[in-house]
Amino acid sequence: MGLPLNLLATADPDQNPLAGQIDRNWEKIYRDQYKYDSFFDWVCSPNDTHACRVRAYVRNGIVTRLGSTYDYQNYADLYGNHASHNWNPRQCAKGFTFHRVIYGPYRLKHPIVRRGWKAWADAGFPELTPELKAQYKFDSRGDDEFVQISWGDAFDCVAKALVAISTRYSGDAGKQRLLSQGYQPEMVEATQGAGTRCVKMRGGMGLLGVLGKYGMYRLNNSLALLDAKIRGVDHHHALAGRNWANYTWHGDQAPGQPWVHGLQASDCDFNDLRFSKLIIMDGKNLVENKLTDSHWFIETMERGAKIVVIAPEYGPP
C-alpha cells in the first residue's frame, strides 16, 4: 500500500540537517553490539574428536556470542613440543552458534521417556510377547508419545532395567532364553551364567570427556556388585557387564583400514594438508565433515592446490 503523496513535503533548502545538536545515540546500538562484561573459556567436545577451546562472551549474565581463543600456539605436550599459530582459528559453525542451543526454546531441560516403555517398566518388564509388543508400542514406537518424568524416576528406570536384564538372563534359565532368541552357543557360554554379561556398554570417544564418557565403563564395571547379589557369588566370581571397544564396535572407524595399512585409524595429520599440492579424498568430503579441520583444506585452495573428491553420492547413477 503506497504512501499518500499529500503527506509528502519538500525539504527546506536553507535548513542544514547537520547543523546544531544532532542526536546520534542510535549509533550505540551498532557500536555496542559486541560489547561484553566478561568472558570464559570452555571446551566444545561433542563426538567429532576436535575438542575445540571456545571463548564465551557474557553480557548481562547471558552468553551473547562465541569465538576462538586464538592461543593454540601456547599448547604443548609432555615433551615440550608446541603447536603453531597455524592451528588458529578452531571451531565450526555449530560450535560458534552453540549458545543458541543453550537458550533455544526446544532445549530439553528435564528427563522424558516413551509412555509405552514406562508402562512396560511399571508392569515389571514382562516378557515381550507379540501381544505385549503391540500393547506397549514396541512395534510402533513412532506412534507413541514421550512423557516428562523427574530425575529420580529416570534414575529408578535405569536401575530397574539393569536389574531386570541381569536377572532374566542369569543362570540356566537365562542361557535357555538367549539360545531361544537365536544367539550362538559360543556367545551364550561367554556369559558364564551371569546376566550382567548381557549388558554391553560403549563409552563413546573417551578422551572427548573423560569423566562423562568413561563413566559408562565405570558403571558397567560396577555391575559386578549387582551380579554378586543376583547369583549370590563372592566378589572373586562376580562378573560385570561387557565393555565394547571404540575401535572394534565403532561403525565409523573405517574397518577396511587394517586390511590396507596393517593398523586401524592410520591417517595423516591434517596439519600436513597445508603443504600439499594435490589432495585426493575418497570417502571423506571436507566440505561437509571434519568440521573445524576444514580450514587446512581451505588454505590449500588459497595456495592453488588441486583437489579431487571421489563422492559417489554426487555421481551420476
| Residue 201, in any domain of the structure | yes
Tally of structural domains, the chain = 3
Q: Give the integer Cα–Cα distance in Å for 281 and 261.
A: 17
- Phi, psi angle pair for 279, to nearest 5°: -125, 125
Residue 44 resides in a domain: yes
Spell out the long-range contacts of 53-62 with Cβ–Cβ below 8 A and sequence spacing 24 or more.
53/90, 54/91, 54/95, 54/98, 56/99, 59/35, 62/103
pLDDT per residue over 204-234, tens digit each?
A: 666 666 666 677 888 899 999 999 999 999 9
What are the CB-based long-range contacts (under 8 Å, 24+) for 267-276? 270/296, 270/297, 271/84, 271/86, 271/87, 271/296, 273/297, 273/299, 273/300, 274/86, 274/299, 274/300, 274/303, 276/300, 276/305
In this predicted structure, what is the pLDDT of residue 129?
92
Domain shared by 215 and 290, yes or no: no
Res 105 pLDDT > 70: yes
Is 257 contained in some domain? Answer: no
Number of Cβ within 10 Å of residue 293's Cβ equals: 19
Tell whether 239 and 159 lie within a shared domain.
yes
The pLDDT score that the predictor gives to residue 139 is: 94
What is the SS3 assignment for 59?
strand
Same domain, 177 and 233: yes
196 with 234, same domain?
yes
The answer to whether position 305 is within a domain reads: yes
Beta bridge partners of 164: none
Whether 234 and 274 map to the same domain: the answer is no
Rounded CA-CA distance 265/290 in Å is 15
Q: What is the rounded average pLDDT for all residues in the chain?
A: 85
233 and 159, same structural domain? yes
193 vs 251, higher pLDDT: 193
285: left (phi over 0), alpha (psi -120 to 50) or beta: beta
- Judged against a pLDDT cut of 70, whether residue 317 lies above it is answered with no
Q: Tell me which of 228, 243, 258 is where a domain ends.
A: 243
Q: What is the pLDDT of residue 1?
A: 57
Q: Give the per-residue pLDDT at 296.
A: 82
Show the domain range for 235: 150-243
Q: Which residue has the higher pLDDT, 46 or 224?
A: 224
Within a domain: residue 253? no
Q: Do 234 and 275 share a domain, yes or no?
A: no
Reference 285, options 262, 307, 311; nearest CA is 311
In which element (H, E) is residue 57 found? Answer: strand 52-59
- Quote the CA–CA distance of 113 and 136 in Å, as a whole number: 13
Q: Are residues 54 and 93 in the same domain?
A: yes
Residue 128 lies in a domain: no
| 156 and 73 share one domain | no
3-state secondary structure at position 65: strand
Residue 19 exposure: Cα atoms within 13 Å on the Cβ side = 3
Q: Tell me which residue has cell 572373586.
A: 236
In a domain, 195, yes or no: yes
94 and 50 housed in the same domain = yes
Determine, yes or no, domain membership for 55: yes
User: Are 228 and 284 in a shared domain?
Assistant: no
